[in-house]
């Protein structure tokens, strides 16, 4: 039976893609077929003559199953902007039912699917829908990536409350040391351990050149994930 996880972050630029790729490598030690999904990606460059998003590429590199781009990145927007603005500029409407259809197809090809959201949990996808609506529609357990920097406690607390308000489960969280100069990071992690009420899955160190495969060894997966 295929199961999935939805990865969100306390903000944009907190290392969701790195954490998601490392999580895929960690899951691959227990499941032969794992695949990452970036439903909505804003920002694309030419790779091998085709437009692609760096986050989607990172997830593909960490996956053990190769799938068509229409499945693992159904919405690719050229401009690196908030998805609702990038979509409007591209003349595209982001369809949650369409994304759900792609996800369902992935579940038939993999044992585990890691879905990485765009930006923060409430990032706008249109004038009426947000990333939280997508997460709610998928109904998956949520993994929260906390970028350890000044202000992260407030962002993490607000995101936890937003996840719960949608009736979703915060299955775990990842502490990512994005700011090597942050003061008292261990004290921040201690507060988050108590407040979030979910297991700390991994504490990722700051790396000038991040290596998702190496970071996978730092994950402590719950027994029911293995």
- Whether the CA torsion 12, 13, 14, 16 is positive or negative: it is positive
Sequence-separated (6 or more) residues with CB below 8 Å from residue 62:
20, 21, 22, 24, 25, 28, 36, 212, 213
Structure letter (DSSP) for residue 69: H
* Active site residue ranges: 38
In the structure encoding, which two tokens stand for residue 115, read together?
Answer: 């879905």
Full DSSP string of 120-143: ETT-BSSSS-BHHHHHHHHT--EE
Across-strand partners of 115? Answer: 6, 37
């Amino acid at each position: 039976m295929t199961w999935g996880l939805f990865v969100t972050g306390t903000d944009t630029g907190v290392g969701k893609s790195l954490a998601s790729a490392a999580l895929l490598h960690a899951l691959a030690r227990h499941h032969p077929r794992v695949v990452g999904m970036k439903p909505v990606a804003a920002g694309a460059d030419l790779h091998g003559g085709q437009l692609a998003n760096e986050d989607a590429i990172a997830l593909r590199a960490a996956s053990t199953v190769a799938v068509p781009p229409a499945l693992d990145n159904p919405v690719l927007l050229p401009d690196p902007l908030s998805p609702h603005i990038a979509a409007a500029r591209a003349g595209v409407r982001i369809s949650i039912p369409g994304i759900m259809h792609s996800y369902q197809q992935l579940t038939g090809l993999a044992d585990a699917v890691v879905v990485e959201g765009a930006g923060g949990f409430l990032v706008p996808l249109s004038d009426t829908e947000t990333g939280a609506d997508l997460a709610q529609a998928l109904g998956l357990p949520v993994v929260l990536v906390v970028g350890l920097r000044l202000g992260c406690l407030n962002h993490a607390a607000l995101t936890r409350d937003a996840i719960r308000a949608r009736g979703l489960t915060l299955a775990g969280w990842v502490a990512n040391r994005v700011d090597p100069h942050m003061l008292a990071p261990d004290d921040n992690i201690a507060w988050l351990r108590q407040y979030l009420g979910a297991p700390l899955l991994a504490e990722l160190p700051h790396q000038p050149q991040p290596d998702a495969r190496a970071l996978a060894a730092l994950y402590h997966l719950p027994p029911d994930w293995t």
